[in-house]
Amino acid sequence: MNIQIYNTLTRKKEPFIPQVEGEVSMYVCGPTVYNYIHIGNARPVIVFDTVRKYLEFRGYDVKFVSNFTDVDDKIIAAANELGEDTSELTERFINAYFEDVSALGCSEADVHPRVTNHIDDIIEFIEVLIDKGFAYESHGDVYYRTTKFDGYGKLSKQSTDELIVGARIEKGEKKDDPLDFVLWKAAKENEVSWKSPWGEGRPGWHIECSAMARVHLGDTIDIHGGGQDLTFPHHENEIAQSEAMTGKPFAKYWMHNGYINIDNEKMSKSLNNFVLVNEIRKQVDPRVLRFFMLSVHYRHPINFSEELVGNAANGLERITTAYNNVKHRLENSADLGDQKDIWMNKIDECKNDFTVAMDDDFNTANGIAAIFELVRLANVYLLEKNTETSVLAYFKTTFDALMNVLGLPFNDAEDLLDTDIEELIEERLEARRNRDFGRADEIRDELVAKGILLEDTAQGTRWRRG
């Protein structure tokens, strides 16, 4: 069975067939680095990181490219305000970006190209567009002539007529047509700029992705991703640029993730309700944040609120507890089971359910449901008096495999208790042996106050942090 991907270009799910068997090229539009990223920015990063991890899980060799827009109006404005060099500013926020997304379990891309490192590629790209008649120079700017490109509007399903009619599109004096968009901007006073055949200036926003995607992934890429709001105009313009340039399809599959709302309202600067990853991850376990985001299908909107994140935390806790209990049993019980195959098969069923879910346009909500099936199964197995090491080990391996795909690895590092706490646990065991339950409960309460929860099992007392 093939992986199915919902393609914005065709508005339906299609079987995923990469250009080269076994290999996938992916490009995801990255952030403009003039501030810390907010959770809305984080969603596509998490979504496409998960897509990538799943493709790898399915055996594909993925080449993943995600850019940084490190020159643009907002960056220049922010740098001016802070009296800082644009390159210092962007460097700072690129570092912050990596810290934020790695906390959220996202792997680095194979390449993180920056606009400022690709000025030459961009200029060359624009020159070809001019040569082919798709672009024109005007007062030091260069514009793309949208009317020249037949397929303009094919991604967002906008007709050029409607775009013009409906529009709040301004007629720049420099543009021949209101729908034309800028490829190269002439520099204003004191702006960072580069030399070009059209004078000092810098790239427009859309051209960078076309140029960098081509340099790093070739003329046609398999999967191009980004937020829903990029569909128009950004991705539409990328298609216009790239396909005019190469005469080939720019991307086979276009994927777009939905928005995040805050308490049912759109996140926006004017409402001042945006949540920075940098801050929220200090208050909420970043694993919970990621789990929360993956609990909804990537194309649907997701509402962010304290309550919902709290629910997600409880759900993830259930998974983690089951995993840890499997581990505890693995380390503290003899190999006594005798029904190995039945359980192995049941585990395989869960794994299969997970794969079926994820094959269907990366349905992480159903994938997580499959993991909860595995949780229930593991908990039921732990009820058995006699367990087999191989089964327990298979539970653990499967948990690891599936959660790793979702970018939610379990923390397997040895977690040691302070010796005084260990002594208290030992003292409580002694008290229980002597049926001094008063003292035993007293110690348990004392430990709860220190964040240590105890659970008595047939295989001994286990503890966890709570």
Residue 157 binds RNA, judged by CB under 7 A: yes
Residue 389 binds RNA, judged by CB under 7 A: no
x-marked contacts with RNA along 170-199 as a string, rule CB under 7 A = -----------x------------------
Inter-CA distances, 318 with 46, 294, 384, 416, Å: 22, 16, 19, 22
Residue 260 binds RNA, judged by CB under 7 A: yes
Measured from the CB atom, is 56 or 229 closer to RNA? 229
CA distance 125 to 344: 56
CB of 102 to RNA, least distance (A): 18
CB of 57 to RNA, least distance (A): 19
The rounded Cα 104 to chain-centroid distance in angstroms is: 8
Residue 22 binds RNA, judged by CB under 7 A: no
Q: How, if at all, do strands 141-144 and 135-138 pair?
A: antiparallel
Contacts of 313 (CB under 8 A, 6+ apart): 284, 285, 288
Query: Where does this chain touch RNA (CB under 7 A) — which range of 126-134, 241-249, 358-366, 414-422?
Result: 358-366
Q: Determine the angle formed by the axes of helices 86-103 and 39-57, rounding to 10 degrees.
A: 60
The only residue of 138, 246, 303, 404 in contact with RNA, by rule CB under 7 A: 303
Residue 162 binds RNA, judged by CB under 7 A: yes
As given in the structure block, the two tokens for residue 270 are 């004017």
Query: Where does this chain touch RNA (CB under 7 A) — which range of 17-25, 51-59, 280-288, 315-323?
Result: 315-323
CA distance 146 to 207: 14
Residue entry with tokens 């006073």: 189
Residue 348 binds RNA, judged by CB under 7 A: no
Residue 167 binds RNA, judged by CB under 7 A: yes
Residue 9 binds RNA, judged by CB under 7 A: no
The only residue of 22, 59, 166, 247 in contact with RNA, by rule CB under 7 A: 166
Residue 124 binds RNA, judged by CB under 7 A: no
Residue 13 binds RNA, judged by CB under 7 A: no
Residue 311 binds RNA, judged by CB under 7 A: yes
CA distance 370 to 170: 50
Residue 427 binds RNA, judged by CB under 7 A: no
Residue 373 binds RNA, judged by CB under 7 A: yes
The only residue of 18, 40, 105, 286 in contact with RNA, by rule CB under 7 A: 40
The only residue of 344, 365, 417, 421 in contact with RNA, by rule CB under 7 A: 365
- For 398-458, give the DSSP string: HHHHHHHHTT-----S--PPPHHHHHHHHHHHHHHHTT-HHHHHHHHHHHHHTTEEEEEET
202 close to 191: Cβ distance less than 8 angstroms: yes
CB of 134 to RNA, least distance (A): 18
| Residue 68, beta-bridge partner list | 114
- For 92-147, give the DSSP string: HHHHHHHHHHHHTTPPPPSB--BGGG-HHHHHHHHHHHHHTTSEEEETTEEEE-GG
CA distance 445 to 418: 17
Residue 272 binds RNA, judged by CB under 7 A: no
Amino acid present at 241: Q
CB of 118 to RNA, least distance (A): 17
Residue 288 binds RNA, judged by CB under 7 A: no
Residue 342 binds RNA, judged by CB under 7 A: no
Residue 296 binds RNA, judged by CB under 7 A: yes
Query: Where does this chain touch RNA (CB under 7 A) — which range of 193-201, 240-248, 278-286, 379-387?
Result: 379-387
Measured from the CB atom, is 40 or 337 closer to RNA? 40
The only residue of 94, 96, 111, 169 in contact with RNA, by rule CB under 7 A: 169
Residue 287 binds RNA, judged by CB under 7 A: no
The only residue of 191, 229, 285, 400 in contact with RNA, by rule CB under 7 A: 229
44 close to 225: Cβ distance less than 8 angstroms: yes
The only residue of 159, 352, 390, 434 in contact with RNA, by rule CB under 7 A: 159
105 close to 286: Cβ distance less than 8 angstroms: yes
* Cα atoms found within 13 Å of the Cα of residue 164, Cβ hemisphere only: 11
Query: Where does this chain touch RNA (CB under 7 A) — which range of 100-108, 136-144, 192-200, 378-386?
Result: 378-386
DSSP 256: E
- For 360-404, give the DSSP string: BT--HHHHHHHHHHHHHHHHHHHHSSS--HHHHHHHHHHHHHHHH
Q: Within 49-88, which residues bind RNA (CB under 7 A)?
A: 74
